[in-house]
Amino acid sequence: MKKIRVLVVDDSALVRSLLAEIINRQKDMECVGSANDPLIAREMIRELNPDVLTLDIEMPRMDGIDFLGRLMRLRPMPVVMISTLTERGAEVTMKALELGAVDFVSKPRIGVADGLSELSNQIVEKVRIAAAAHIKRAATAPSLAGAAAGEVAPSRPSVVSIGRISTEKMICIGASTGGTEAIKEILTRLPADSPGIVITQHMPPGFTTSFAARLNSLCQITVKEAVNGERILPGHAYIAPGGKQFRVDRSGANYLAVVEDGELVNRHKPSVEVLFKSVANVVGRNAFGIMLTGMGNDGAKAMREMKDAGSYNYVQDEASCIVFGMPREAILHGAADEVLPLTSIAPALIAKLSSATDRYRV
């Protein structure tokens, strides 16, 4: 069996040693080297040609974000960020994902040895996912983080008004690994008069507020983290808070957000399964489902339930996915009405919505 070759980049000798030990305990991977700064790592990448890089953020001579940006432009490869900064600096994490990092793990601030040991299963799982990911060369356009900081943001894609819509309609999105950028691609192309949008992206606590705020700065719709009991309004997108379950309910003519501290479902909280199942029960034929890139099968069965209830579902195709797991499972469950490249989903959805709302036009 060919092993996954991992290069560890971290300025802490203790962390380098611990990560190497965790990696080398796995039968399907090996740590081929470690570097204490990006300049050394650059030479080791050329020499060792690793399959996956684990990368810290705060390092001497060049920080991890600068290095990641250069790496993904010149020599794209799977990267998993492992840094204490990712927990308290959600903006930095979002920037890393935007630049092309596959995923991230937050190192504990204290008790590093015990903390990394507890995270070992998560670390190796994300390394395995990264090794199988489809990596694309990073774009050189201004960043989301720069836009949030007040720099000139990328121009928003041209969008076409849907026209007068029915408030009964709802767009439901599920995503995991690679999903932050995929969701951005969808939302930035939707007009301000879109139906209400509910989103579950697998993400831990502390990151979804920042994620929503950054998307809100780029979109014509309003993007926010979902709050328990609030009404789901047209022209708004609601993101499941990290570490909570998110579903929709109904009160009279209104859809409501339900955010609660439920059990893990398919090993996830938030879980796409929870959201999509509630949409099947509450929204039915007025729903449009979208399954984006991600590992595993979370949401596939519930997306089929949505289809059986009358929803119209879009699934991202393999070529445009970072990880094809969740979309593949949705297709295998017969949940897809259309399987499309990522950049084609929003235009197809807008056309479908426009057709569906023609009867409301004056």
Could you confirm whether 236 is annotated as catalytic? no
Question: Of the residues 202, 236, 268, 278, which is catalytic?
Answer: 202
Question: What are residue 108's phi and psi, to 5 degrees?
Answer: -65, 150
Could you confirm whether 298 is annotated as catalytic? yes
Helices (H), 242-324: 272-282, 300-308
Entry field: residues in the chain: 362
Contacts of residue 304, Cβ cutoff 8 Å, sequence gap at least 6: 330, 333, 334, 335
- Cα-to-chain-centroid distance, residue 55: 19
Reduce the DSSP state of residue 43 to 3 states and report it.
Answer: helix
Question: Of the residues 176, 194, 271, 320, which is catalytic?
Answer: 176
Question: Of the residues 51, 298, 311, 320, which is catalytic?
Answer: 298
204 upstream amide cis, omega within 30 of 0? no
Two structure tokens written together for 254: 């209104």
CA dihedral 196, 197, 198, 199 (to 10 degrees): -170
Could you confirm whether 176 is annotated as catalytic? yes
Q: Find, among 283, 7, 278, the residue nearest to 167 by Cα.
A: 283
Active-site residues: which are they? 176, 202, 298
